[in-house]
Structure 1
Amino acid sequence: MVTAGSASSETATPITPPEPGVALRGNRSFRAYWADEAVTLAGTSVHGIALPVVAVLELDASPSQVSLLAAAETVPAFVLALPAGVAGDRCPKKRIMIGTDLAAAAVVAVVPVCWAAEVQSVPVLYAVAPLLGALTVLHQAASIAIVPEIVDRSHMHPANARIAGAFSLADMTGTYGGTLVVGLVGAVRAPWGNAASYLISAWCASRIRPSSRVRQQAAVRPGGVVVAIREGVGYVMRDPIQRPLVLSLAGHAYADGIVTTYVAYTLLTRLDSGSTGLGLVMGVTAAGGLAGAVLATRLVDRYGPARVMLAGFLAYALCGVPLLVARPGPVWLGVIALAGAVRTAAAVAAGTTQRSLRQQLCPPELRSRAQQTSVWLVTGVRPAAALSAGGIAAGVSVHAALLVGTALYLVPAGLLWSSPVRRLPAMPTPAPTPAHAPAKDDVHVR
């Protein structure tokens, strides 16, 4: 799924904004970009249905193997986050997007090819997962950074809104499409559809025509990048508002990593949902994101950011209970799906609120580094969470891992409650930039 704050912390020289005055509807490059990202995410959703079905039902993967597979998918996001950002700044972004799409199509095709050759195994999935994860990191680093090169500054906000809406919609439709594909052709052949989506995405990316370029100036002194990273991390860890926000996100990611490791496994085994039931739960869960995106601003205006974030974290924890007590049957699958939609809506509302809060409070010259500190921490705890889930499942049971993860969902709410964030009655309003002194990063403060 696309996030804000991926810009490099190095000095950039902005050139004239692209296609000034052109509405998004008439911006061909933006339409191509929108289609590229939506098709990619829809294909990834198909893969998200097929891979656990192949591992659990076709290859009889054990709980520990499922845990290792989940860890393999998340490690590249942590290891390659910063290098991918450098690559996205120094290399043509359009070329990176096309190259990663083509490479991803080849990687996902390995699963059906190996099955046809009768050499499919769990270790093959161990190889596919991190490779696809690495390509996804590189693609996102370029695709996020290319938006200012294809959209006029006056249209940046509506562009990002449309992108976020497209992602939620593509995630939902891709999940249902993945369920249909898996049901019609089987889990081992379904990755062909994902490969086709990457090829279509590459063609869409080739239609993008960036009309401006941002040239990065390399650091002069050795170790300058390290010093800049330390400055960003130090700011986040010292600030009384940024610190609890970022740590609550990291804590939530750790708890969620434990639970999500065995959600599909539990649905397929203990609850006997089958691939159709799994797809139904995932699709309804994704649909909640649309509601959260629509309601977030209204909720903050009425109740304030602190209450929205606290309520979001608490609702997320409570909505994990049905999975713990469910029994096989369609009624319980419906309850789990509905709870999943509510928890996704809560997560989106709380997530967009904290992101906006951090961006408005952070000094302009530190925004990118502060955001990357959050990304680094969140992605760093996910592999540890998957391995922790495997350890708990091996030592006790899968149900015990789900119980521990659900209980840990309450930790982020406790962090925010005990911090100054709890006393924020409304979103802060940044001071306007004087007309005679443009902002340092040449961006208008709204």
Structure 2
Amino acid sequence: MTVLAPAPRGLRRRRDFRLLWTGQATGKLGSSVTGVALPLVAVAVLDAGTFQVALLSAAAWLPWLLIGLPAGAWVDRLPRRPVMLACDVTALLLFLSVPVAAWLDRLTIAQLSAVALGAGCTGVFFQTAYQVYLPSLLERDELAEGNAKVQATEAAAQVGGPGVAGLVTQLAGAVNALLIDAASYLVSTLCLLAVRTRESRPARVRRGSLREEIAEGLRFVAGDPYLRVLTLFSAASNVCLFGYQSILVVFLVREVGVTPGMVGALAAAASLGAVAGAAAAPVPSRRFGSARTLLAAEIGAAPFGLLIPLTAPGAGLLLTVAGGFVIAAGVAAGNVIKGSFRQTYSPRALLGRITVTMQLVSYGTIPLGALLGGALGTALGVRPAMWISTGGLALTGLILLTGPLRHHRDLPSHPV
């Protein structure tokens, strides 16, 4: 049984943190449903090809490349809660448009791509603002535990989401499953409206142009040995991770012969690893050191992805669950450690730009990975594409050994 530090009791007493936490977890549940339901709509309703399905994943992450850097600068200038509220309302309307179009018999791949792209744009602003807003609700020494709780509940939502998507798809169709995502954004909006804490206004400092502010964040990340290697690692691992995930539904449905309901069940079972990894991360971090735990999680988990291309009907489906479980555990544990490190290590005035600079590079490679997975699946076949992507993923953790992490027990608390 995992035992956490006494901090959670204090966090539970923080009403506004609970509201933010609840809204974020609900939003992640809806997004997790969409992660399975949207490609199922493309495959089952619109008979989309492998590359078209991969394109949906690419469209969802492309905004990090298009608007990531200016978004970070704007978040450092603006109150964060109104930004997050606007994002939630916009995403709600976007996902509501899909079932409406389907009911009117007007749904197309182009609309699905546009919805994925638009929701990706709201995600850029929301996630950046969220990372900067969370420290205003918690004390500095509560951030690690707060991030762990948020990551654990997000991971739990990712477990439930695919299962819900599969069940609703079986009973009411994949299109109607997207109504759950629209409802989740409504809940997130209501939770944010109920937060009472008034965040401090961004510091009134003499600002340069938007370009100068963006450049300041870029220089800080590029010049810092810890942030730089973490960013490069995330970029490389996301190419391979989303290379196989973008075609996983196609692989399971068309190559292995899995039903839509079973796709959701397999994804949910694999996502349990994220719950375990996020919940457990603080314990080994305190006992063995945050730097050592990060290296163990990221380097040790990735090779298990090689089990996934071995998936076969019957008992062979457990290989997808096992591989996905360990990868999810490693990614979630790493995200808890990296998120807390970035929030405590970065200068507060630069946090939005540092966050979005790192995410621009790491998330910006996701469309590349998704398109690469789709292209490889189209050219070589889906199973060979899965082998190439998971094989590359197994090697990416070695990038972390090129930086200073391997020399330290713990990550530093401030730049040196």
TM-score normalised by the shorter chain: which range applies?
Answer: 0.7 to 0.9
Distance 1:360 1:153 in 2: 7
Distance 1:219 1:244 in 2: 31
- What is the deviation of 1:70? 1.5
State the TM-score, normalized to the length of structure 2: 0.86
Q: Which amino acid in 1 is paired with 2:75?
A: G
Give the match for residue 410 of structure 2.
427
Aligned pairs (5 A) from 1:277-426: 277-300=262-285, 308-329=293-314, 331-353=315-337, 369-424=353-408, 426=409
Give the match for residue 184 of structure 2.
197
Q: Would you say 1:262 and 2:247 are equivalent positions?
A: yes
**Retained in 2: the 8 A contact 1:361–1:428?**
no
Q: Which amino acid in 1 is paired with 2:67?
A: L
**Unaligned regions of 5+ residues in structure 2, if any?**
1-8
Distance 2:132 2:316 in 1: 42
Query: 2:43 is matched with which residue: 56, 60, 84?
Result: 56
Query: 1:224 is matched with which residue: 206, 209, 212?
Result: 212
Q: Would you say 1:142 and 2:126 are equivalent positions?
A: no
**Retained in 1: the 8 A contact 2:61–2:366?**
yes
Distance 2:255 2:399 in 1: 34
Q: Which amino acid in 2 is paired with 1:413?
A: G
Q: Which amino acid in 2 is paired with 1:121?
A: T
Structure 2 vs 1, CA of residues 45 and 416 (structure 1 numbering), >3 Å: closer, same or farther? closer
Query: 1:214 is matched with which residue: 194, 201, 208?
Result: 201
Distance 1:99 1:369 in 2: 20
**Unaligned regions of 5+ residues in structure 1, if any?**
1-21, 432-439, 441-446
**Retained in 1: the 8 A contact 2:136–2:199?**
yes
Distance 1:306 1:29 in 2: 31
- What is the deviation of 1:206? 1.4
Structure 2 vs 1, CA of residues 299 and 35 (structure 1 numbering), >3 Å: closer, same or farther? closer
**Retained in 2: the 8 A contact 1:42–1:173?**
yes
- What is the deviation of 1:73? 1.0
Distance 1:92 1:355 in 2: 21
Give the match for residue 246 of structure 1.
231
- What is the deviation of 1:75? 0.4
**Retained in 2: the 8 A contact 1:219–1:225?**
no
Give the match for residue 85 of structure 2.
98
Equivalences, count:
407
Structure 2 vs 1, CA of residues 71 and 225 (structure 1 numbering), >3 Å: closer, same or farther? same
| Identity score, percent | 28
**Retained in 2: the 8 A contact 1:270–1:328?**
no
Distance 2:342 2:198 in 1: 30
**Retained in 2: the 8 A contact 1:168–1:289?**
yes
State the TM-score, normalized to the length of structure 1: 0.81
Q: Would you say 1:273 and 2:262 are equivalent positions?
A: no
Distance 2:332 2:248 in 1: 19
- What is the deviation of 1:259? 1.2
Structure 2 vs 1, CA of residues 248 and 112 (structure 1 numbering), >3 Å: closer, same or farther? same
Distance 1:26 1:308 in 2: 29
- What is the deviation of 1:170? 2.1
Distance 1:95 1:180 in 2: 35
Distance 1:25 1:308 in 2: 26
Give the match for residue 235 of structure 1.
223
Distance 2:49 2:288 in 1: 45
Give the match for residue 3 of structure 1.
none
3-state SS of paired residue (1:60): coil
Aligned pairs (5 A) from 1:178-197: 178-197=165-184
| Greater mean deviation of Cα atoms: 197-206 or 220-229 | 220-229
Structure number with bigger Rg: 1
**Retained in 2: the 8 A contact 1:150–1:209?**
no
**Retained in 1: the 8 A contact 2:147–2:340?**
no
Distance 1:28 1:312 in 2: 32
**Retained in 1: the 8 A contact 2:73–2:352?**
no
**Retained in 1: the 8 A contact 2:19–2:194?**
yes
Structure 2 vs 1, CA of residues 170 and 88 (structure 1 numbering), >3 Å: closer, same or farther? same
The structure where helix makes up a greater share of residues is 2
Distance 1:154 1:309 in 2: 19
Distance 1:309 1:149 in 2: 25
**Retained in 1: the 8 A contact 2:19–2:192?**
yes
- What is the deviation of 1:369? 4.9
Structure 2 vs 1, CA of residues 132 and 307 (structure 1 numbering), >3 Å: closer, same or farther? same
